[in-house]
Structure 1
Amino acid sequence: MPDPGLSPLQSSLPAAAARFGAPVLANAQASGLEAAVGARPVLPAGRALPSGPALPFVPVPAAGAVPVDVPVPGVGPGGDLVAQHVREGAAVVKRQSPVLERILRGPSGLGTASLHPARREEPPAPVEPEAPAGTPIPGLYYHPVPEPDPARVEEVSRRIKAWALDEVELYPEDWEDEFDGFLVGRYMVACHPDAPTIEHLMLATRLMVAENAVDDCYCEDHGGSPIGLGGRLLLAHTALDPLHTTNEYQPEWAQSLHSDAPRRAYRSAMEYFLQEAGPSQADRFRHDMARLHMGYLAEAAWAQTEYVPEVWEYLAMRQFNNFRPCPTITDTVGGYELPADLHAQPAMQRVIALAGNATTIVNDLYSYTKELASPGRHLNLPVVLAEREGLSDREAYLKAVEVHNDLMHEFEAAAAALAAACPVPSVLRFLRGVAVWVDGNHYWHQTNTYRYSLPNFW
């Protein structure tokens, strides 16, 4: 006898709406999908789509459960891989019924195009698959991605260099090779394959370059120092979160935003971002940048006192000093918006935090030899593990790989659980976007042989 699937008599969405707030239903309706049981999606023109069976019950996994095969449709190049890695780690919840899979894929057919996310300005050019440059870390859990669209990479690379040189005067001539070696165009195209236009990609690219300039010039290689860092970061942050003061002092602050390269870059990148982002998206980004700056300050304080943190303390610092501001803007870059009440939910915050933590440990691992070759002592997870747990350099590095893998599995389980509990279109697309960013970030670290090389531990 065939498996009849889960009971169609009830829906989890009313319960999900109670947990996530009434705006979930409004968001679903605005996207053309009714959250009520058995209701029919309505096109913007008012023409109803054919009704389908009632939405089957979706169990909310218990704490610690790892859902299986939550259907999350792919977006853009490599979408199938994106769907796959949100489902990986499947172990507890049974496969969802075909009805739920169809509903989570969204409406299709004549007249439904307006119900789907923003389209690309041009179809992706067919690209012959080729092995990416660089060697992935043996034993590291990651998902390969297709080579990013070369036409987009070239155009983003051209525009970002023109912005850096002509608009914000970001770096002197002798830094040009290093800027080119950063390969930021390839980085951002790999991380945001669903961006509808080049200009959407540029939103993320300018912010990434500006953040890197602040890190280099204030904290790291190019004149950075822990001494006085708090004051520099605070003033730079006002380029993102503007000062509201009296008429007497406002001009002095405005003039200060042009006083050094990091502040010029922050100011300009944020101005472009505000042209596309909604108010809640902009405020979300400011909040995550404040988190980043607080992480910078913790690391600087430890450097000044020559303190090597406990492993859990280091991981706490890395939850703030990490890539979180990048995947959190995936909806702005994708041309849509995850409503603020959904973004703020603890389950979504956990997904975003785990994604940021995992991607940052990727940076620790790939930049390990680069940091060892730099002046001074650099804290990274292998260094802290070696110091605090009495491990050899090799043992510490391999354990750091395990920590990364555990974080990745936690991220994927949390994303799958949230997709099952709240299958609202904007939630599903945002989860896909964050997952794509995680994979694109690894791809860039693996393939950027100009910056990174692996230790000889295998």
Structure 2
Amino acid sequence: MPAPELPPPQSSLPEAASRFGAHLLAAAAHVLDAEDVTGGPPGAPSLPAPPVTSASALAARPLPGAPAAEAPAPSAGLERILRGPSGLGTAGLRLFPRDEPQTPSSAPAATEGTPVPGLYHHPVPEPDPVRVEEVSRRIKAWALEEVSLYPEDWEEQFDGFSVGRYMVGCHPDAPTVDHLMLATRLMVAENAVDDCYCEDHGGSPVGLGERLLLAHTALDPLYTTREYQPQWAESLHADAPRRAYRSAMEYFVRAASASQADRFRHDMARLHMGYLAEAAWAQLDHVPEVWEYLAMRQFNNFRPCPTITDTVGGYELPADLHAQAGLQKVIALAGNATTIVNDLYSYTKELDAPGHHLNLPVVIAEREGLSDRDAYLKSVEVHNDLMHDFESEAAALAEACPAPGVHRFLRGVAAWVDGNHNWHQSNTYRYSLPDFW
């Protein structure tokens, strides 16, 4: 009996990029416009996209060492598709920005708060205050009026989270406030699950798997028999986290392609798996090895946020390009680095909280026998190594895959990384640094 033939090898990045023209033709029918992503009830205002001056300039930051992309000259028809619609108010609807002269960006503004000394990061311009105010207004209305997310005595904490500033800073290329709201609702919903199921507001490792599974069905719908479908549908309103997941995902799927929505569900499953690993350690009162903790953090991290950067930016990176191992590595490194940023800035907050919170400095101190100070400083080094790896891998990928959409996506992920640090540094309501210097 002859041995079965091996399947043909999967396409490499250059091969995937060579098919990019066909993807553009298909994607042209799916350019996201403001009508597809209405971020509230009918008639809700939509702010115009800001000029490319301050906040938007970060998205144009070139990748370290990346050459300028030089795509082959397209045909007249393809060039028209790439150019996108024209006229008043259509700048955010184009697949890719036009090669137009840009207004020089302003210098990074002074940010409230002190950065962790020695932490490798990029200063960013102050997020657009008009957008911050509008996103903050809309997200609070959604939380209170649409999903009843929190009781009255949590209002100060909700306001202190400054999620409007967070999301505007992380997505400087979002064409409209409606696009920003896609990410903002998901961020708030994810934090509700973390707080209410895992940590601050009644969370517990006991029974976490069941709660996460039922909440995940608000993102990845259950298909069951007619007899039991109504009971599942009713369960989506059972608690604040599930209400938030259901509503945020409904907005998202109306704006995203099927591929973008499924990609997000996959990364949320990764997140929930990371929650369960941390919960298991808590139940066993176990401190993992440092490498084990970092493995958990590759799943329990910010990855779902930068993975939707194209949806929030109003375009789509084709699925076979997004799924390439090189791009997945870049996204994973971005998630790992930004999550260690959270470990470092939330260190004193977690030490003051009840219970034993695992974070990278705590794990290094216990497993490697270092003082609290030396463990914290070593954690800064771990972050810096991850950041340098992220930037070098992104630059190598940009050179290997000269597709404009890949370059735009990489710039969006880099902007998310920088915006995430800026929010942690500036959020002095939530975070303060230890006295190690």
TM class by shorter chain equals 0.7 to 0.9
Q: 1:101-153: CA deviations, max 9, x gaps?
A: 5659x99xxx97952697349x99x9896411000000000001100000000
Contact preservation (8 Å) 2:237, 2:243? yes
Aligned to 1:10: none
Query: In structure 2, how many angstroms separate the alpha carbons of the residues matched to 1:432 and 1:390?
Result: 39
Q: Give the equivalent residue in structure 1 for 2:433.
A: 454
Shift of 1:23: 3.6
Q: Which has the higher contact order (CA 8 A, sep 6+)?
A: 2
Amino acid paired to 1:86:
L
1:203 to 158, 165, 182: 182
Change (3 A) 1:310 1:348: same
How far has the Cα of 1:423 moved from its partner?
1.1
- Residues 217 and 262 of structure 1 are in contact (CA less than 8 Å); yes or no, is this contact kept in structure 2? yes
Normalised by the size of structure 1, how large is the TM-score?
A: 0.80
Which residue type is aligned with residue 430 of structure 1?
F
Task: Find out whether 1:215 has 2:183 as its counterpart.
Answer: no
Paired residues of 1:362 and 1:404 also in contact (CA < 8 A) = yes
Amino acid at match of 2:157: E
Alignment partners' CA distance in 2, 1:283 and 1:437: 21
Aligned length: 389
Question: How far apart in 2 are the matches of 1:15 and 1:256?
Answer: 43
Distance, in Å, in 2 between the alignment partners of 1:391 and 1:140 is 19
- What's 2:130 paired with? 151
Please tell me whether the aligned partners of residues 69 and 402 of structure 2 are also in contact (alpha carbons under 8 angstroms). Answer: no
1: CA distance between counterparts of 2:416 and 2:271? 18
Q: Which residue of 2 aligns with 1:26?
A: 22
Residue 441 (1) aligns with residue 420 (2): yes
Q: 1:210 to 1:80 in 2, by over 3 A?
A: closer
Counterpart-to-counterpart distance in 1, 2:145 and 2:261 = 25
Residue identity over aligned pairs, in percent, reads 74
Verify: 1:341 aligned to 2:320, yes or no: yes
Is the 1:285–1:328 Cα contact (8 Å) retained in structure 2? yes
- Are 1:86 and 2:63 matched, yes or no? yes
Query: Any idea what SS the aligned residue of 1:86 has?
Result: coil
- 2:346 aligns with 367
- 1:20-169 mapped onto 2 (5 Å cutoff): 20=16, 23-27=19-23, 77=54, 81-82=58-59, 84=61, 86-87=63-64, 90=65, 96=67, 100=68, 115=83, 119-120=91-92, 130-169=109-148
Any conservation in 1 of the 2:53–2:106 contact (CA below 8 Å)?
no
- How far the C-alpha of 1:25 sits from its partner, in A, is 3.9
Partner residue in 2 for 1:415: 394
Instruction: Compute the displacement of 1:27 (Å).
Output: 2.9
Q: Answer yes or no: is the 8 Å Cα contact 2:179–2:312 preserved in 1.
A: yes
Q: Distance in 1 between matches of 2:17 and 2:196?
A: 43
Report the Cα offset of residue 26 of structure 1: 1.7
Q: Which amino acid aligns with 1:198?
A: V
What amino acid sits opposite 1:230 in the alignment? G
For 2:186 and 2:201, locate their aligned partners in 1 and report how far apart those are by CA, in whole Å.
Answer: 19
Report what 1:187 is aligned to: 166
Deviation at 1:444, TM superposition (A): 0.3
Indicate whether 1:259 and 2:238 are aligned: yes
Corresponding letter in the other structure for 1:115? R
Letter in structure 1 aligned against 2:396:
A
CA distance in 1, matches of 2:276, 2:53: 38
Separation of aligned partners in 2, 1:332 and 1:255: 29
Equivalent residue for 1:319? 298
Take 2:161 and 2:414, find their aligned partners in 1: how far apart are those partners? 22
Q: Distance in 2 between matches of 1:217 and 1:149?
A: 31
C-alpha RMSD over aligned residues? 2.8
Question: Is the 1:323–1:359 Cα contact (8 Å) retained in structure 2?
Answer: yes
Listed as ranges, the matches of 1:379-398 within 5 Å are 379-398=358-377
Residue type matched to 1:312 in 2? W
Q: How far apart, CA to CA, are the structure 2 residues paired with 1:112 and 1:441?
A: 35
CA distance in 2, matches of 1:15, 1:385: 38
Per the alignment, residue 49 of structure 2 pairs with: none
Give the secondary-structure state (helix, strand or coil) at the position aligned to 2:205: coil
What is the 5 A alignment of 1:209-288? Answer: 209-288=188-267
Deviation sequence 1:314-345 (CA, Å, 0-9, x none) = 00000000000000000000000011100110
Residue in structure 1 matched with residue 99 of structure 2 by the alignment: none
Alpha-carbon contact 1:330-1:434 (below 8 Å) kept: yes
Q: Could you list the runs of 5+ residues in structure 2 that have no partner in the other structure?
A: 1-10, 29-51, 94-101
Distance 2:426 2:233 in 1: 40
User: How far apart are 1:79 and its partner, in Å?
Assistant: 5.7
> CA separation of 1:169/1:29 partners in 2, compared to 1, >3 Å: closer, same or farther?
closer
